[in-house]
Chain A
């Protein structure tokens, strides 16, 4: 069973704080990891991809990957109310030409 687990939330943070979103996955051989942002009623938007252990930064976003622990996270620095959305983690599994999505974590950033 290929599984991607996320805490459904909501995760509530004040404006300006760091939001930390977490994702675990079941296949130790997974190679590709993606974070999508989905606003209510809209389609998912790709915000980060990561393929190697360690950190990858893009503006206010940092993705962190630890393959040994089968764990990928997304940090959002200086959170803004406009960051309020559901964040979906997606993982590729070895031998499967498709992604498996988690159910998403809802983030609420209060002014």
Chain B
């Protein structure tokens, strides 16, 4: 089955610790995205990547880092510099966007709680 997997589903960390969220896709999509969703709010773009070894900051990149060493994988690290890391993190993928974005498909999400 083709799809996007995110792990873990729930993650608990102490303040001051870095944490890495996993995202893997087997849809053969070139583009991958990380979003954050807070209660009652829309999706906010953290980082995106259109091709391996290249990625761009989204609207709220501060306190986050990513890598794109393989087409299938786009891990997100939430660093201790992120002031309010508790949120629902969503990974998505799509065909590469040359001019306009294609449909994006989402993984099941990781709910991160930092205390």
- Give chain A's interface residues, CB within 8 Å of chain B: 8, 31-32, 34, 36, 42-46, 49, 88, 90, 92, 97-99, 101-104
Contacts and interface: CB of A to CB of B under 8 A. Distances in A.
Contacts of A43: 90, 106-109
Given A32-B101, A34-B103, A46-B103, A98 B43 contact: no
Contacts of A34: 103-104
Contacts of A44: 43, 90, 106
A16 B103 CA distance: 29
Interface of B: 31, 33, 35, 40-43, 45, 48, 50, 58, 90, 97-109
A97 B109 contact: no
Nearest to A4: B42
Contacts of A32: 100-102
Residue in B41, B43, B98, B102 with the greatest tally of chain A CB atoms within 10 Å: B43
Contacts, number: 54
Contacts of B100: 31-32, 92, 97
Contacts of B107: 43
A101 B37 CA distance: 11
16 contacts: A31-B99, A31-B100, A42-B108, A42-B109, A43-B90, A44-B106, A45-B106, A90-B104, A92-B100, A97-B31, A97-B98, A98-B45, A99-B101, A103-B40, A103-B42, A104-B42
A46 B104 contact: yes
Contact of A88 (B43, B50, B98): B43
Q: Which 4 A-B pairs rank lowest in CB-CB distance, beginning with the nearest?
A: A103-B42, A97-B97, A43-B106, A101-B43
